[in-house]
């Protein structure tokens, strides 16, 4: 789950990942050899292909821009190990120097009160997955980079409120087939990401949200 974009379901294996975003409708999948990302919407039945190295989810870039800075740019450093959902995870936190800088910027109104002051994250390196799998999830959710599969990320804003960017509620072992990473043949390919979300009822709203001109 994520407070920023709503509930998500993640299906991943050693050579692929699919993320279904139930609230916003924009979802993602990619598989080995990880040359491209497929962004799609079950609501509009549209999809778009993006080179893997260029991919950053526009929904999260838009939400992060409201805070006058991308959450993915937040510096983090390893702190400790712990157990989370019966998985050994590595804990990362933003350094104190980042909090000092953010507080200083907030006092001169350079950033809003919803901006991040501190960040804490857990990742697992024991899920036997290609590094591209975790990287794809980071880019989809706009998270800082970690050396493993992200399982938990939250930031504390200037009002000391906690905001979940990612909170894994359950890990379930499944048998994943190749069909899990295929779109229905009826889906329509579009050239631009913003077209995925557009239908007759929301065209102007989506274009404004994604900064389309």
Express each pLDDT in 73-108 by its tens digit: 899 999 999 999 999 999 999 999 999 999 999 999
* Beta carbons of 56 and 144 less than 8 angstroms apart: no
Portion of the chain with pLDDT greater than 90, in percent: 55
Can you read off the two tokens belonging to residue 86?
């019966």
Could you please state the CATH topology (level 3) that the domain comprising 8-209 is classified under.
outer membrane lipoprotein receptor (LolB), chain A (2.50.20)
- Which residue, 65, 45, 22, is CA-closest to 209? 65
Pairing of strands 46-51, 188-189: parallel
- Which residue, 6, 17, 4, is CA-closest to 129? 17
Can you read off the two tokens belonging to residue 36?
């491209």
pLDDT at 117 exceeding the cut of 50: yes
pLDDT at 6 exceeding the cut of 80: no
pLDDT at 60 exceeding the cut of 90: no
pLDDT at 94: 97
| Segments making up each domain of the chain, as ranges | 8-209
| Residues near 65 by beta carbon (within 8 Å), at least 6 away in sequence | none
pLDDT at 212 exceeding the cut of 70: no
């Amino acid at each position: 789950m994520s407070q920023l974009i709503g509930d998500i379901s993640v299906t991943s294996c050693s050579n692929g990942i699919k993320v279904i975003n139930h609230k916003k409708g924009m979802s993602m999948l990619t598989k080995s050899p990880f040359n491209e990302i497929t962004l799609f919407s079950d609501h509009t039945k549209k999809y778009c292909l993006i080179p893997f190295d260029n991919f950053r989810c526009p929904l999260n870039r838009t939400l992060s821009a409201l805070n006058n800075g991308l959450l993915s740019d937040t510096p983090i450093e390893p702190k400790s190990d712990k157990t989370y959902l019966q998985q050994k995870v590595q804990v990362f936190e933003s350094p104190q120097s980042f909090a000092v800088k953010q507080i200083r910027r907030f006092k001169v109104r350079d950033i809003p009160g919803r901006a991040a002051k501190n960040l804490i994250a857990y990742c697992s390196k024991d899920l036997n997955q290609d590094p591209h799998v975790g990287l794809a999830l980071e880019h989809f959710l706009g998270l800082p980079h970690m050396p493993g599969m992200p399982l938990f990320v939250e930031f504390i804003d200037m009002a000391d409120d906690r905001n979940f960017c990612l909170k894994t509620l359950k890990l379930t072992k499944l048998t994943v087939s190749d069909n899990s990473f295929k779109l229905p043949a009826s889906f329509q390919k579009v050239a631009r990401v913003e077209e995925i979300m557009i239908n007759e009822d929301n065209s102007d709203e989506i274009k404004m949200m994604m900064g389309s001109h």
